[in-house]
Structure 1
Amino acid sequence: MRTIKANKLLLIAVLAIASLTLNAAAYKSSKSSEISTRIRNSANYQNSKNTTENEIIIPEGLKPGDTIGLIAPANYTNENSNAEVEYLKSRGFNVVYGQSFYSKWYGFGGTDNVRAKDINDMFANPNIKAIFAVRGGYGGIRIVDKLNYDTIKKNPKIISGFSDNTTLLLAINEKTGLVTFQGPMADNLKNIPPVTENAFNKAFMSNESYNLLDFDDTYSIMKNGRGSGKITGGNLSLVVATLGTDHEINTDGKILFLEETNEASYRIDRMLQQLRLAGKFDKLQGIILGDFKNPKQADPTDMTIDEVFYDNFGKLNIPIIKNFKSGHVRPFITVPIGAKAKMDTYNRQIIIEKATK
């Protein structure tokens, strides 16, 4: 009798252990599946970041008598900033100054809040028809998350700058669809070259289509082809700085413009490789390589800048031009970021459909 009872107890214990083992396995499988799903969803989120396209918003063009707001969204103003003021006044524009124009905080044109407020306030002000930066340097990335993109989208207008301002111009274009401008600043407008002024007029004061390659013929064709899409890009190091952020550049189906200054050729190669590994070259329609100023070889065995370009882009089956006069260079050709363009190197054309209206 005792043996039968013992056997029953043993059987019950075995069944209980088996049940616990099965439940534990099921729980582990469930958690593993849940974790896998989270990882996949996270990866899908990263891959889909900034792939939703806003409709293109074309800002109104300028005319004499319009008011332009001047800001220092990165480094504080210097003596070269006055050249921009004088040029704009000579063209018949009124100018007003943001608080950042007069402010200093470390190397910046005022605190982050001051610089961001200037941009938000000027977009909200109906009397201001355009916003021009007077200097680059460093600081735009510190305020990109402080901009009111709803206000910007509801009050579209020209905003222009280059170099460090790439961060702001890209973010505004990506978040709102507003065409922004890689445009001349400060001493780019001093004793202004005809090429710079002609491009300024077409970009900011005309509502017609035009050929971006008509202004200057010193560019060269690296690879023939045809492609069409919105233009995106700017300063290379600032484009790379957007990766992994909520303001990451979207290059799918677009024409990529890049420029840089005072970076060694191996550093340019590293940044281009980072863009390649991030998939930013996979669906390009064309490439415009602007001015790459002082691209020295840090070591005699390093690639030259042209070798860097051919190594990174040589296998892409898209049109590519280089030595385009835009960036840290005189003359300076304004490039509308977010505008539709048709690139045809066979006919030496990059037709901008419309930059302003």
Structure 2
Amino acid sequence: MHRKHFLSSLLPAAFALSSAKAIGNTVIFEGSRSSKIPPYLRQGDTIGITCPAGYITLEDIQPAVQLMQGWGFVVEVGKTVGKRSFTLGGTDEERAADLQYMLDNPNIKAIMCARGGYGAVRIIDQLNFHQFKTYPKWIIGFSDITVLHSHINRNYHIATLHSKMCNSFPADWNLAEPIQVETILSIKQALTGEKLSYTSPASEFNRLGKATGGLVGGNLSLLTSLSGSKSDINTKHKILFLEDTGEYLYNIDRMFYNLKRSGKLEHLHGLIIGGFKLKPDEPDEVFGKTVAEIVLEKVKEYDYPVCFDFPVGHQKNNFALKCGVEHLLEVYEIGGRLYES
């Protein structure tokens, strides 16, 4: 996959949406429900670190702790960091209690999930979001944390941050690759209120066009596993981004059929395809289609733009994206661009 470049330019005035108006931190668009944006962070604010999914050691989160402290934030390490119940970061009860404490604590302004793995779906129905609805804060993470992004967007219409987590911070910042530096810095930029813009390279599979809508999405496997539940993603009039890892092509095909048959591809305004790390087909069970061919087959009857090779997913070029926030997607012959409105 080609390396993508992070852009800091803001959305040009020429593309401003005349139908949008802002009231405080809430952006309202005609014909769509408002999306509440949590307060952006200032120096001295506290970021909590918790493990709603897989386990991680206290030692392994130190690079993230030290860097976020260097950004001027206070870091509160949750009780689940360093705990382990087999593959999980503590028992279901421990993980739910730790996340609940951080959701309810008014001094914690953002919650960084330490890593993905598996486990968020086991506790989602135990969580009480009453305090969070009244005093929202940024929930940060990706992969298994897609459960939280989808649940919060569907039920509470509050923006969240899809981004790398503690286990992706480089141990030695001075030795980190430029793309690692850019992606980690995009977390700070998002949390402090910068309007971000990204570009992806040209692809022969891109479908050209422009689209506006709230940005939703995440891990394809997680989103299809939530189908039919009260955490099920709402894609109507949205820009959907998808990524995945460790799946066979036939399973990617099956999951895209799930999206299609459940109506999630029908009323999109735009589709973004990020990184897909695949398991190689067995020699006697070759599927015969690429990811791009699978996607285009499922959306051939629709006319919205489709952007491939976007810098999001289980890869080094995994930039921070504000889920639930309105964006503009442009797909040209020279590549794709995504602007936060």
For residue 82 of structure 1, the aligned residue among 62, 65, 77 is 62
Aligned AA for 1:183? S
Secondary structure in 1 matching 2:115: coil
Q: State the partner residue of 1:350.
A: 338
Q: Is the 8 A contact 2:237 2:267 kept in 1?
A: yes
Q: How many residues align?
A: 298
Secondary structure in 2 matching 1:99: coil
Flag as ranges the 4+ runs of structure 1 deviating above 4 A: none
State the distance in 2 between where 1:80 and 1:271 align.
Answer: 33
State the distance in 1 between where 2:202 and 2:41 align.
Answer: 28
For residue 326 of structure 1, the aligned residue among 284, 294, 312 is 312
Deviations 1:176-208 (A, max 9, x none): 11101111113422145232144223311125x
Q: State the partner residue of 1:300.
A: 286
1:279 is displaced (CA, Å) by: 0.8
1:302 is displaced (CA, Å) by: 2.8
1:100 is displaced (CA, Å) by: 1.4
Q: More displaced, 74-83 or 281-290?
A: 74-83
State the distance in 2 between where 1:343 and 1:301 align.
Answer: 31
Secondary structure in 2 matching 1:85: helix
Q: State the partner residue of 1:28.
A: none
State the distance in 2 between where 1:223 and 1:331 align.
Answer: 22
For residue 66 of structure 1, the aligned residue among 45, 49, 65 is 45
Which protein has the larger Cα radius of gyration, Structure 1 or Structure 2?
Answer: 1
Q: Is the 8 A contact 1:81 1:134 kept in 2?
A: yes
Residues 88-127 of structure 1 mapped to structure 2, 5 A cutoff = 88-127=68-107
State the distance in 2 between where 1:275 and 1:225 align.
Answer: 22
Q: Are the structure 2 counterparts of residues 348 and 304 from structure 1 closer, same or farther at C-alpha, using a change threshold of 3 Å?
A: closer
Deviations 1:39-75 (A, max 9, x none): xxxxxxxxxxxxxx76311111223322110001001
State the distance in 1 between where 2:150 and 2:287 align.
Answer: 35
Q: State the partner residue of 1:226.
A: 210
Secondary structure in 2 matching 1:318: coil
Gaps of 5+ in 1: 1-52
Which protein is richer in strand relative to its size? 2
For residue 260 of structure 2, the aligned residue among 276, 289, 292 is 276
State the distance in 2 between where 1:92 and 1:331 align.
Answer: 25
Q: More displaced, 130-139 or 310-319?
A: 310-319
Q: State the partner residue of 1:41.
A: none
State the distance in 2 between where 1:206 and 1:93 align.
Answer: 15
State the distance in 2 between where 1:238 and 1:263 align.
Answer: 12
1:156 aligns with 2:136: yes
Q: State the partner residue of 1:47.
A: none
Deviations 1:327-347 (A, max 9, x none): 111022111111111212249
For residue 236 of structure 1, the aligned residue among 220, 245, 266 is 220
Q: State the partner residue of 2:168.
A: 188
1:261 aligns with 2:245: yes
Q: More displaced, 329-338 or 118-127?
A: 118-127
For residue 118 of structure 2, the aligned residue among 138, 152, 174 is 138
Deviations 1:85-122 (A, max 9, x none): 23222323221111111322232111222212222211
Aligned AA for 2:43? P
Aligned AA for 1:206? G
Identity of aligned residues (%): 34
Residues 32-71 of structure 1 mapped to structure 2, 5 A cutoff = 55-71=34-50
State the distance in 2 between where 1:161 and 1:201 align.
Answer: 13
State the distance in 1 between where 2:160 and 2:98 align.
Answer: 17
For residue 336 of structure 1, the aligned residue among 313, 322, 329 is 322
State the distance in 2 between where 1:118 and 1:160 align.
Answer: 15
Gaps of 5+ in 2: 1-31
Q: State the partner residue of 2:188.
A: 201
Aligned AA for 2:55? Y
State the distance in 2 between where 1:344 and 1:305 align.
Answer: 21
State the distance in 1 between where 2:193 and 2:154 align.
Answer: 24
State the distance in 2 between where 1:296 and 1:352 align.
Answer: 36
State the distance in 2 between where 1:219 and 1:290 align.
Answer: 13
Which protein is richer in helix relative to its size? 1
State the distance in 1 between where 2:80 and 2:294 align.
Answer: 38
1:243 is displaced (CA, Å) by: 0.6
Q: State the partner residue of 2:233.
A: 249
Secondary structure in 1 matching 2:316: coil
State the distance in 1 between where 2:112 and 2:318 align.
Answer: 15
State the distance in 1 between where 2:189 and 2:208 align.
Answer: 26
Q: Are the structure 2 counterparts of residues 293 and 174 from structure 1 closer, same or farther at C-alpha, using a change threshold of 3 Å?
A: same
